[in-house]
Structure 1
Amino acid sequence: MNRIVIFFITAIICQSCTQTKQEYLKENRFDLSSSDFNFPECDFNIIGFGAYHGSSKTENVELELLESLTKKESIKYYFPETDFSLGHYFNEYLKNGDTLLLKDLVTTYGNRVPQERTIEVYEKWKKLRQINEKLPNSKKLTVIGIDLQVNYKYASKHILDLIKPTANEPKPIQAIRQMVMLDTASWRIDSTVYSYTVLKDLIRDYESNKQSFLTHISNTQEFEHIVENLKYTFQKERLYRDQIMFKNYQALDSIYNFKENPQFLRMGFSHIVKSREGKEGYPYFFTRLIENKVYDKSKVLTVMGYLTDSKVVWDELYDEEGNYEGYTIEGGYGIGDYEKEYFRGIQNLKDNKISDRTLFRLNKCSSPYIEKEPDLMEVIMQDEKSNGERVKGMSTLEFIDYAVLISDSKESIPIFEMK
């Protein structure tokens, strides 16, 4: 009760001293490209950055946020939009700098979001490694994947990393070892492929006779976490990614102690909104953290990226045999600032930008974004139904804390174009 009273008193005080949005934005903007940039907050449990996929400067923004946050030792864990095993090998890349491994990781990672399977994402990881190398060992970032399984390739490799090779290892492990060594199987999540059958056989044998496996496994917690995520892929019913992310986050907390170690998450922007769109809206990952009282809403920070005068890579093109041929680009639909599809209130950001990568803090006490107007959340559509009715009467601050306006960004280039 006391919290509710304090909240309403604070809201009344804040509203009584609000400026216009234009005035407020001018006083609360930061040039991300400046060498003096410092992210203005450090008291949080988790911070997320998201934007439309497929535009090159989005990767620059992420790196600039990460560099500032790591300098201040504000984060310990880094969550890319990928699964536990791919996260494990991205972590290996940060340690060993193997660029052949990195290229394959980015290619595989892009199976979920092809617009992220790009040269710019590859280069982002190389620069992230440079940032990480400058940190003392105790402060280096650890990469963790909490997303739904992308495919079976790196899960199979990860399993082998956790198994001590012996002459009498279980037959399902021998089958995985042979499959990984030959690397001719399809790794896609599909009940008709060989890797699906091999991994399903492993899990069946493991769960019926755990004792025969345990002597071979070096880290049982990690092994069982991989098993649980593989089992999700064997289910016939639809899998809800954010539900799986939340379950994985809870499970991995026992290993990584998330509540004591702040995290940075990079995903598509839907996953990092802090509220449902209306009472019946779908709860994305950050919303689940808040609704399930994992963290107070004030300790969950959302930084949303918005594109203007920019382009995105849209589709990869393949011939009938499945060989890569090229890609398509979008510069109107797909960037969120187009006459037929744009974010309400984006013009205020455009009017007040100070560079091609301008960060606006929206969540200060004096912010007019506390008003019940869904600026930067409502997508106004000319030819299709928008989310306007769902977010009607909601405030920007129910969803996000910061906005980044990204201007004049070229499309990202598929990694298959890399020479």
Structure 2
Amino acid sequence: MTIVAVAASLLIAVSAGVRAPANAERGDPLMMRAKLTGSADLPDGAVTASVEPALSRLAKLAGGQQYSRFVLPTEAVYRNGDEIEVRFPPEDLPDAYVDEGGLVTVVIDAADAEHGKYGTVLSSVRRVTIANSQQWAPPMYSAESLSVPPAKRTAAQARAVAAKAPATTARAVYAAFDGDENPVEEVLADALPHATSRMQPTSDEKLARVASEMSALPPHDLARAVAASNCSLAKKERIRSATVGTSYPMLKGSKSWLTYNNSTSSSFGTAVNVGDGWYQGGGVTATADNWGSSFQKSHRLRSYRVHVIYRKQTCTSAKWGTILSQKLIPVGQTGGIGRNILSSRPSWRSKCAPVVSHKWWRGSTTGQSYTLSYGVKFEKVLGFNLKSERGYSRGARLFYTANKRRAICGDTTWPGLAGKMMERGWRARSY
């Protein structure tokens, strides 16, 4: 049993009433939501939330150099079964924990004393300023020029804001920014990512020597000891290839290419080990590098790849030094790119729009992001791959060009809104 599990068992008796009830008034803005399967019956105080330092700061740390997370108050965590909400005022988070462009990485940890399990899930959000008020927004959201109050925006500014709205709620955000009754903070909260993970078995046997010391702690000191942890990053960098797009042009007379800008648009998965082997962590972490690339035009079927820097994070109990969890987390990108030639095309044909001789692109955040559950190539190291996700924007576009009529097809919806698109012959059009 781990130190966290023992601490959680002690918390059962001393922390009743610490957890904010599910029907309590939620006055602070929604920061993160997650589902941690197996956590529903955990006692109050056994689930904690914290914030990582800005990734740009983490990337500069020497191997083994310790740092601390910003531990959120227990009252910031709301639970309803396995569903968890974290609510915290954006203006109260110190700037040292906010990366370029407002990116913030939130971590939820949970301990199951009875069954010897531990769970952790993390996700990125973005701190933005809208009408002189700070709000939490999805990581794919870009917040340029949002300090101008909606009532004072010109029509051009309103359209520019709407073009950078969260992918799933662009129309609602446009309405909110345009002065309708839909509150901006509610629209943003509805668009926040929903991270998922599960409780996992853990196998640390170093607890007997500290159990008596733990039981002697006052309740508040015990809760603080469980929540607080010291973390460090291994010196070794693991450079992994991650797919951030695919294109399927017609082989004759057509070409396709991707322009890539990572300043606001890419997130990558994490791997977690709590003592019983590595598994895919829930949620994705957005990096905040500033570089870009335009891939060469080609008629070939291909996937587009960037190179992501991962480092192993080890977090230990600040009081007893026992390892709580290890993660492989993305801390940046090298700026390197690659591509993989594909041998076959998808069969998408239900949502195909006709286009005449064209230079067509998908480049607005309106619609779906490109996602690939196996996008980050870790299988040879871990036995599985991790998720990659890329949003579309003016700096991150997928282009198709042809000198004759074609149809552009989306994977799950119309190509102007789809996360993945392919080119087909004119006869494939849906209307």
Q: By the TM > 0.5 criterion, same fold?
A: no
Which structure shows the bigger proportion of residues in strand conformation?
A: 2
* TM-score under structure 1 length normalisation: 0.25
Which structure shows the bigger proportion of residues in helix conformation?
A: 1
Higher relative contact order (CA 8 A, sep 6+): 1
